[in-house]
Amino acid sequence: MLVLEKIADFRRERARREGTCGFVPTMGYLHEGHLALVRRAAAENDHVVVSIFVNPTQFGQNEDFGGYPRDLARDLEMLHAFPNLIVFTPTVEEIYPHGFQSYVQVEEVSQGLEGERRPTHFRGVATVVAKLFNIVQPQRAYFGQKDAQQLAVIRQMVRDLAFPLEVIGVPTVRESDGLALSSRNSYLTPEQRAAAPVLYRALCAARDRYTDGERDAEVLRAAMRAVLAAEPLAAVDYVSAADAETLRECEGAVSGAVLLSMAVRIGRARLIDNLSVGVD
Ligand code: PAF
């Protein structure tokens, strides 16, 4: 495993590697969800690059950039077993040098859901991912389906700007009680952790209604809200039943693939999760 901080050093090393490159961008504080991405990248490519960079531009002013969990030594330990790995760990100055002024804005698909509550978030994500794609030059890039809107934004950006790579969405990894793995789960106290699977239970309730034949978007959203309302520690930010491709909120009867999603605050953690229904 090679750990590199500078773009110039990374490019030199990358140029020496032959065959296909699979890329897993992360903000570190790795968990099994990240390792699922790395395993998939390792299975499908000749070599793998993992980036670890807590990207300041995707955090809003009152968000948790300063407190976001970081532990590079632990991350490297978790990646140690993977052969042929380059870990790229740039500093903020390396990615955003003095005078930086170019940003990538993906328009429509960035606007609803998370984008509505975090107006500058996807501009930061698209910008850093575009820069990382330019540096890493992967043939395939791997993202978790837990961040469904992020995945949609990246797919749109890759299509629109003709990045020569394939974007691969990897299924969400869950704890045995359904809680989706996330670095932000580390913010939860034991009591809050016990409450957190309510997100998955709420999604499953709506999915079950859908499976039983319910197609009214508002009824599906109400099914999620009812489960969340029974958990006193859960403060709902939003629940949504949206078109899985455009991410526009569904009204009336749903058809085709629908993304059921939500953001819920439990203590200081803002948790997001989703399930798709109506997918072939
Ligand atoms: O999903 C994440 O961890 C981040 O949003 C990403 C894609 C690494 C960009 O900073």
What tens digit of pLDDT does each residue of 217-269 get? 999 999 999 999 999 999 999 999 999 999 999 999 999 999 999 999 999 99
Q: How many domains does the chain have?
A: 2
Choosing from 170, 200, 228, the residue where a domain stops is 170
Q: Which tens digits make up the pLDDT trace of 38-90?
A: 999 999 999 999 999 999 999 999 999 999 999 999 999 999 999 889 999 99
> Residues 6 or more apart from 192 whose CB is under 8 A from it?
233, 266, 267, 269
What is the pLDDT at residue 101? 98
Q: Which tens digits make up the pLDDT trace of 181-228?
A: 999 999 999 999 999 999 999 999 999 999 999 999 999 999 999 999
State which ligand 1 atom lies nearest to the alpha carbon of 144: 1
Residues 235 and 200 in one domain: yes
Name the residue at shortest CA distance from atom 1 of ligand 1: 26
Share of the chain above pLDDT 90, in %: 99
Residues 117 and 154 in one domain: yes
Are 32 and 181 within 8 A, CB to CB? yes
Average pLDDT over residues 155-178: 98
Name the residue at shortest CA distance from atom 2 of ligand 1: 26
Residues 166 and 188 in one domain: no
Structural domain harbouring 227: 183-277
Residues 79 and 127 in one domain: yes
What is the pLDDT at residue 87? 98
- Best of 51, 57, 58, 96 for a ligand 1 pocket test (most atoms within 8 Å of beta carbon): 58
Judge whether 247 lies within some domain.
yes
Residues 140 and 222 in one domain: no
Residues 230 and 116 in one domain: no
CA within 13 Å, CB half, 119: 2
Judge whether 130 lies within some domain.
yes
Judge whether 109 lies within some domain.
yes
- Best of 135, 147, 157 for a ligand 1 pocket test (most atoms within 8 Å of beta carbon): 147
Hey, which residues does 144 pair with through a beta bridge? 170
Judge whether 211 lies within some domain.
yes
Give yes or no for residue 110 having a pLDDT over 90. yes
Residues 50 and 133 in one domain: yes
Choosing from 170, 196, 228, the residue where a domain stops is 170
In angstroms, what is the span from residue 240 Cα to ligand 1's centroid?
22
| Residues assigned a catalytic role | 34
Q: Which of 4, 7, 38 is nearest to 135 (CA)?
A: 7
83-120: b or e for each residue (b if 16 or more CB lie within 10 Å)? eebbbbbbeeebbbeeeeeeebebeebbebbbbeebeb
Judge whether 177 lies within some domain.
no
Residue 15's Cα: distance from chain center in Å? 28
For residue 232, the tally of other CB atoms under 10 A from its CB is 7
Taking the C-alpha atoms of residue 25 and residue 128, their distance in angstroms, rounded to an integer, is 10
State which ligand 1 atom lies nearest to the alpha carbon of 183: 3
User: CATH number of the domain that 57 lies in?
Assistant: 3.40.50.620
Structure tokens at 67: 């407190």
Residues 135 and 196 in one domain: no
Judge whether 176 lies within some domain.
no
Residues 241 and 203 in one domain: yes
Residues 149 and 208 in one domain: no
In angstroms, what is the span from residue 159 Cα to ligand 1's centroid?
19
Choosing from 128, 145, 170, the residue where a domain stops is 170
275 in helix, strand or coil?
strand
Average pLDDT over residues 117-123: 97
Residues 124 and 59 in one domain: yes
Judge whether 215 lies within some domain.
yes
What is the pLDDT at residue 252? 98
Name the residue at shortest CA distance from atom 6 of ligand 1: 26
User: CATH number of the domain that 210 lies in?
Assistant: 3.30.1300.10
Give yes or no for residue 280 having a pLDDT over 90. no
Confidence of residue 172 (pLDDT cuts 50, 70, 90): very high
In angstroms, what is the span from residue 237 Cα to ligand 1's centroid?
21
In angstroms, what is the span from residue 222 Cα to ligand 1's centroid?
30
> Residues 6 or more apart from 206 whose CB is under 8 A from it?
220, 221, 223, 224, 241, 260, 275, 277
Radius of gyration, alpha carbons of the chain = 19
Task: Please provide the distance, in angstroms rounded to a whole number, between the alpha carbons at the two ends of the chain.
Answer: 39
Judge whether 237 lies within some domain.
yes
Rounded to two decimals, what is the model's pTM? 0.97
Residues 63 and 87 in one domain: yes
Name the residue at shortest CA distance from atom 8 of ligand 1: 26
Binding-site residues, ligand 1, Cβ < 6 A: 25-27, 55, 58, 125, 128-129, 147, 150
State which ligand 1 atom lies nearest to the alpha carbon of 147: 1
In angstroms, what is the span from residue 173 Cα to ligand 1's centroid?
16
